[in-house]
Structure 1
Amino acid sequence: MESVQLRYTYENPHANLKLEHYVYCIGSYHYNWHTDFELLVVLKGSVELCVSGARHILKEDDMVLINPNEGHATLGLGRGNIAMVLHIDPVFFKGYFGEDDFIRLELVSDESTRNEARFAVIRQCLAQMMVLNVRREPASRLRYDALLYRLMSAVVPIDQVPDERGRAYRIDRRGKDAVSRLVAYIDDNYRERITLADLAAKTGYNTSYISQLFKGKLGINFSEYLLRVRLSAATAELSASDARISDIAAAHGFADLKSFNAAFRKTFGKTPAEYRGLLSDDNRAGDAAFKQVFVSADDEYVGAKLADYMAAGAGQDAYDSAPRADRDQIRALHEVAQAAREARALLDEALARMGTEA
């Protein structure tokens, strides 16, 4: 029997909820951007995150929130790096901050903050939400919604106000066809030299209208979108092939190696050569299954981690008051965690004994 992957989507149109929740292995940079909020928690290992020109090193149990339309990429440092991710459609906030207002959130933990109660609550809610959807019980939807509201109350500061920087995610559906046409042309022709005038000639729109469409509908200007597309494709080839960096730059629309180096350093804080030097076989193995194969629901390490999150965030009172099915699930996950710890202790003891005998 094929094991269930830790990945699902969830929708509740009555509450403006549209989510995607999954656990996957971190590989090399896959530079991307999207219209959702993305909450990422490191379950195992260490991960480098580059987002909008900033660089964070996230250790086990750390988390970060990526705002809509922010360019970002992750890199697994070392072997066996695993993350849990929740995507949240920003329309969820519509009923709280007003249809014409905007929200941009700041959330990132590090060694000094990761054990704060706020982050423990977020990890607990994410773990329970994952368990509820693995079970797929119809009666769990109400409890699931309650968990999401508890999670978001921990994410959003009590004094949060609309922020004009959040305008980037508000894609006006009017003009969607025009934007789709422009984006499709760039995606197909980014390897060539493209100017606003070229785009106008190919699509029939004037240059000022094109500029307004990109800024008003996507939150970034034409040149930034073109650069993101080129960087995304070139970065993927850096890890997928052994081609010379100058050839990769030329093949993906960069005028020369200097301009590729400058754009890469500004985005990721290092040169393409430095990045390639960090790549490992583990990174490349993760690339082969990127967002296609997710971590299995019967993975012992992840099961133990989710159990720890549920127990640490809930406390004994919450455990005692939980429905029996949830208590049984938490208890079962703890048993897996205990078995894994005992096996690791036996392995460490055997290795120590071998070292002494040698």
Structure 2
Amino acid sequence: MSAGFDAISFQGSPILWNKRHQTISPGISFYHWHQCCELLLVFGGSGTIIINNQTYPIREGMIFIFQPFEIHKVFARSTDDIPYDRTVVHLNHLHIEPYLRSFPRRHQMLDTLCYSRDMKRAFELGEHFEAVQQCMEDYEQIAHEDRGATQEEITVFMLRLLSVLEKVIPENLYSSPVQWRHEEYSERIMSWIEDNYMENDILNRLANELHLTRSYISRVFKKETGSNLSEYLTAKRIKIAAHLLESTSTPVEIIAHQIGFQNVSHFISCFKKTYRITPLQYRLKAKASNA
């Protein structure tokens, strides 16, 4: 999986469910986005989430909403004593939306959550946290019984979930026509890099492709994402390298050149900075865990 666009494979179901999961290792984060709506329910831990150049704290009892093709970065602080504990749900909103047309209020809410430029992305659930948790646990049980992909069960789940969220989302945000979120320059930049990350002279090529100046591209990317373009490009290349190290036997030196590094030593240094071990150590560790 590459840094940047992370395509979610629903495999025939409108909902992709990631079980409740705890992390105790130090956080590693990347800017990325999906083609679908993502819900992140936090049971415990701390850290920060960046969405649209806004930073939100990670706290127990919060739910975060990432809209389709909206770049975001999650950095969780995890320890043995305080793990990062969460559930992630991806919604194929285009598939689910027709199920709610007989329920205009809930239908409007789903559109607002997925598309509104004015919608907040983080909510403190407070006393409603247990209701959201129960809703998700009930659907997870149904999914294990192979009924999770049916229109009836998905409709029931979405109606329950949206009914709870209605209690924490201000009504004025979903009671009027959706003001659609416009595509950020950073999204166009990241989309272009998705296909051209291995090339040299990225900034000049981007300037020609987008008909913008080099300095403006750098400034607008920093403004919209909170990260330097060079940092994002390096993060993308390193994440692709990790995948190649796990899935192929290609020598480290060749991988470095394939992903756009001209200097192998620089690649190893960047990789260690991200994963805290060398590429070879990472490969050996991945093989051992899959043995």
**Equivalent residue number for residue 130 of structure 2:** 120
In the aligned structure 2, how far is the partner of 1:132 from the partner of 1:288? 37
**Equivalent residue number for residue 71 of structure 1:** 70
Deviation at 1:77, TM superposition (A): 5.2
User: Is 1:166 the equivalent of 2:178?
Assistant: yes
Deviation at 1:264, TM superposition (A): 0.8
Residue 88 of structure 2, aligned match among 84, 89, 92:
84
The 5 A counterparts of 1:87-102 are 87=91, 88=93, 89-91=96-98, 92=100, 95-97=103-105
Deviation at 1:154, TM superposition (A): 0.9
8 Å CA contact 2:186–2:225 kept in 1: the answer is no
Report the secondary structure of 1:86's partner residue.
strand
Judging by fraction of residues, say which structure has more helix.
1
Higher alpha-carbon Rg? 1
8 Å CA contact 2:71–2:187 kept in 1: the answer is no
In the aligned structure 2, how far is the partner of 1:268 from the partner of 1:107? 15
User: Is 1:255 the equivalent of 2:212?
Assistant: yes
Residue 166 of structure 2, aligned match among 156, 161, 173:
156
The 5 A counterparts of 1:128-147 are 128-137=138-147, 145-147=155-157
Deviation at 1:268, TM superposition (A): 0.6
- Letter of the structure 2 residue corresponding to residue 20 of structure 1: I
Deviation at 1:259, TM superposition (A): 1.6
Residue 230 of structure 2, aligned match among 269, 273, 293:
273
Deviation at 1:38, TM superposition (A): 3.5
Residue 228 of structure 1, aligned match among 181, 187, 198:
187
8 Å CA contact 2:52–2:72 kept in 1: the answer is no
Report the secondary structure of 1:166's partner residue.
coil
Instruction: Output the TM-score relative to the length of structure 1.
Output: 0.43
Structure 1: gaps of 5 or more residues = 1-5, 11-18, 169-218, 290-358
8 Å CA contact 1:27–1:283 kept in 2: the answer is no
**Equivalent residue number for residue 21 of structure 1:** 16
Deviation at 1:258, TM superposition (A): 1.0
The 5 A counterparts of 1:1-358 are 10=13, 19-23=14-18, 28-31=30-33, 37-41=37-41, 49-58=49-58, 62-67=62-67, 71-76=70-75, 84-87=88-91, 88=93, 89-91=96-98, 92=100, 95-97=103-105, 103=112, 104=116, 105-106=119-120, 108-109=122-123, 113=124, 116-137=126-147, 145-157=155-167, 160-161=171-172, 162-164=174-176, 166-168=178-180, 220=182, 224=183, 228-234=187-193, 236=194, 241=198, 246-247=203-204, 249-250=206-207, 252-253=209-210, 255-275=212-232, 285=242
- Letter of the structure 1 residue corresponding to residue 178 of structure 2: G
Aligned-pair identity (%):
13
Report the secondary structure of 1:40's partner residue.
strand
Report the secondary structure of 1:230's partner residue.
helix
In the aligned structure 2, how far is the partner of 1:130 from the partner of 1:260? 43
Deviation at 1:137, TM superposition (A): 4.7
In the aligned structure 2, how far is the partner of 1:75 from the partner of 1:137? 31
- Letter of the structure 2 residue corresponding to residue 63 of structure 1: I
Instruction: Output the TM-score relative to the length of structure 2.
Output: 0.51
Structure 2: gaps of 5 or more residues = 1-8, 22-27, 247-291
Report the secondary structure of 1:71's partner residue.
coil
Deviation at 1:39, TM superposition (A): 2.1
Distance 1:232 1:44, change over 3 A: farther
Distance 1:243 1:125, change over 3 A: farther
